[in-house]
Amino acid sequence: MAAKATIYKAALNIADMDRNYYAEHNFTLAKHPSENDLRLMVRLSAFVFNADESLVFCKGISQDDEPDLWQRSLDGEIKLWIDLGQPDEKRIKKACGRSEKVILYTYQDGAALAWWKQAEKALKRFKNLSVIYLSIDGDIEQLVERTISLQCNMSDGELSLIGEESSVTIRQERWKEA
């Protein structure tokens, strides 16, 4: 029998001074059995970096033809495709062909840089692709609870996630710009 997803509730109070976006978002998230707490929190962070009423979480890791998050237009066209990690070139090509804009957030220190050095040349041809490395200062996994409540402050491209017991700062290093 297959392992089941773990369900989390998340309340994000977002104050994005860079984009003048201020809102509260409440979600029910499913964490796939193969997903760890770090990846779950990076998904939430990716949402905060691109927060919008029409940005939604997808099946992501459990579905090959969907990203982790996406934003669709009213006619169903994909405006924004957001993936995490170090996907292969075939997946990135598919995303770039299906969406107006693709953002790839990579976040694992040594693995991310090694992947980028290998993939950089091939990925330069995708004009609608941004690759962003997330430098995480603090133990982001300490913020994970079954009910996550975070104050999310964004200023000068830097995100502060503030929980009840701890806080984390995430900086974006733009490796490729669309």
Give per-residue pLDDT as tens, 35-57: 999 999 999 999 999 999 999 99
DSSP-assigned states of every residue in 53-108: TTEEE--GGG-TTS-SEEEE-TTS-EEEEEEES---HHHHHHHHHHEEEEEEEE--
The predicted-structure confidence for 97-120, as pLDDT tens digits, reads as follows: 999 999 999 999 889 999 999 999
Q: What is the predicted pLDDT for the residue at 84?
A: 96
- Cα–Cα dist 17/157, whole Å: 9
The predicted-structure confidence for 124-154, as pLDDT tens digits, reads as follows: 999 999 999 999 999 999 999 999 999 999 9
DSSP-assigned states of every residue in 10-23: EEEEEEETTTTEEE
> Domains of the chain by range and CATH?
6-176 (3.10.640.10)
Q: What is the predicted pLDDT for the residue at 109?
A: 86
Share the mean pLDDT of the chain.
94
HSE at residue 26, side-chain half, CA atoms within 13 A, is 1
Using the structure block, give the residue that is written with the tokens 């693709």: 102
State the pLDDT confidence band at 2, using cuts at 50, 70 and 90: low
Neighbouring CB atoms inside 10 A of 56's CB total 12
Residue 84's contacts (CB-CB under 8 Å, 6 or more residues apart) are 39, 42, 43, 46, 60, 68, 104, 105, 106, 107
